[in-house]
A = this chain, B = another copy of it.
Amino acid sequence: MLIVMDHRATKEQVDQIIAAVERMGLTAEPIPGSLRTAIGVLGNQGYVDDSTIRTLPGVRETIHVSKPYKMASRDFHPTASVIDIAGVKFGDGERPVIIAGPCSIETEEQMLAAAEQVKQGGGRMLRGGAFKPRTGPHSFQGLGIQGLKLLQQAGQAQNLPVVTEVMRIEQLDDVCKYADMLQIGARNMQNFDLLKEVGKTRHPVLLKRGMSATIEEFLAAAEYILAEGNPNIVLCERGIRTFEKTTRNTLDLSVVPLVRELSHLPIIVDPSHATGKRMLVPIMSKAALVAGAHGIMMEVHPNPALALCDGAQSLSGADFAELMGELNRLLEFLGYQG
């Protein structure tokens, strides 16, 4: 950490800061400049809590050099992690995984049809929501446990591992029972208690980036899960909130190579939620793979026009099959064997 003093700070104020740093068990190194003094803080093993320092007289600002995550960092874990979900692997060197399925689980027929389309197209995991986060309480909220069973049944019918969102701690046991992978949604990325409980399970987890989360906060959220002992995390970029409203969110593809540099955890992309527009899903899926994504999650529905949720961003089975052909050709070009 660097502590920048006001240019009017007195020597006494500088000495007071040095003493405060030393009380924290750290070392302070003053760096006198022509305009102001800065004080380097040394000896910390990670992020320094600067809240007491920032309040002392003469301090202009504090600048963090360490990050609020450590176990999620490449610095401490140089080897890329490969996460295995019932034989489907996410990570460097592994063929990117296509996860597909409807936004909401609606009926047995829908799920069996969706699973068949996903399998036929070459998808390797099945998704579907049983518990749905919706902006207002008057929208369809999902089928709950009954939905989990339908999801599991459809996945087993096609031998596809399944992933579904968990929204509250009490649902964890059921979701772990029926699903191969838990999803933490964007709105819960900083629901720290949920993260901790998921961290205690060791169940594979798909952690979506919050809609206004920085990369630093995203990796710090993963750190909550890692710190409880669960290393089985796949990250997911799903668009961030910006001033631009033509797309539902702004897909931040640069985060893919950045996360791969900063962290050892795999990262996939969800172009359906990021853009909110069906016509953008195929092209942004390809861009995401080229950017280095370890997988793509997209919405596929047997009949998008009848979907109870987010039909506008869902592909039909035929659309999906066509897209998968294109993605497979792209993956071959990128060096992955068929």
- A: residues with CB less than 8 A from B are 2, 4, 7, 20, 29, 31-36, 38, 40, 42-47, 49-52, 54-56, 63, 65-66, 68-70, 75, 133-140, 167-170, 187-188, 190-194, 196, 211-212, 214-217, 220, 223-224, 227, 240-247, 250-254, 257-258, 261, 274-275, 278-280, 283-284, 286-288, 290-292, 304-312, 314, 329-330, 333
Bound complex: CA of A333 vs CA of B242, how far in Å?
33
- Chain B contacts of A2 at CB under 8 A? 2, 38, 40, 63, 65
B261 and A279: CB pair below 8 A? yes
A65 and B40: CB pair below 8 A? no
A56 nearest CB neighbor, chain B only? B305
Copies in the assembly, this chain: 4
- Chain B contacts of A47 at CB under 8 A? 136, 138-139
B312 and A55: CB pair below 8 A? yes
In angstroms, how far is the closest chain B Cβ from the Cβ of A244? 6
- Chain B contacts of A46 at CB under 8 A? 138
A243 and B243: CB pair below 8 A? yes
Bound complex: CA of A291 vs CA of B253, how far in Å?
11
- Chain B contacts of A220 at CB under 8 A? 135-137
CB pairs A–B below 8 angstroms (29 shown): A4-B65, A7-B75, A34-B44, A35-B66, A38-B65, A49-B309, A51-B310, A52-B305, A52-B306, A54-B311, A55-B307, A68-B135, A70-B138, A135-B216, A136-B223, A136-B224, A137-B196, A137-B220, A137-B224, A137-B227, A138-B223, A169-B170, A215-B246, A240-B243, A240-B250, A242-B243, A286-B291, A290-B330, A333-B333
Q: Contacts A42-B34, A51-B307, A55-B304 known; A215 to B227 CB distance under 8 Å?
A: no
Bound complex: CA of A191 vs CA of B244, how far in Å?
20
A291 nearest CB neighbor, chain B only? B287
A293 nearest CB neighbor, chain B only? B287
Bound complex: CA of A58 vs CA of B216, how far in Å?
21
Bound complex: CA of A307 vs CA of B56, how far in Å?
11
B167 and A314: CB pair below 8 A? no
Bound complex: CA of A153 vs CA of B174, how far in Å?
39
- Chain B contacts of A223 at CB under 8 A? 136-138
- Chain B contacts of A245 at CB under 8 A? 214, 245
Bound complex: CA of A35 vs CA of B257, how far in Å?
23
Bound complex: CA of A70 vs CA of B292, how far in Å?
38
Bound complex: CA of A63 vs CA of B191, how far in Å?
31
Known A212-B243, A290-B330; 19 more pairs at CB < 8 Å? A2-B63, A2-B65, A31-B31, A33-B40, A38-B40, A38-B65, A49-B140, A49-B309, A136-B223, A137-B192, A137-B220, A167-B193, A187-B190, A215-B246, A240-B243, A250-B252, A257-B283, A283-B290, A287-B288
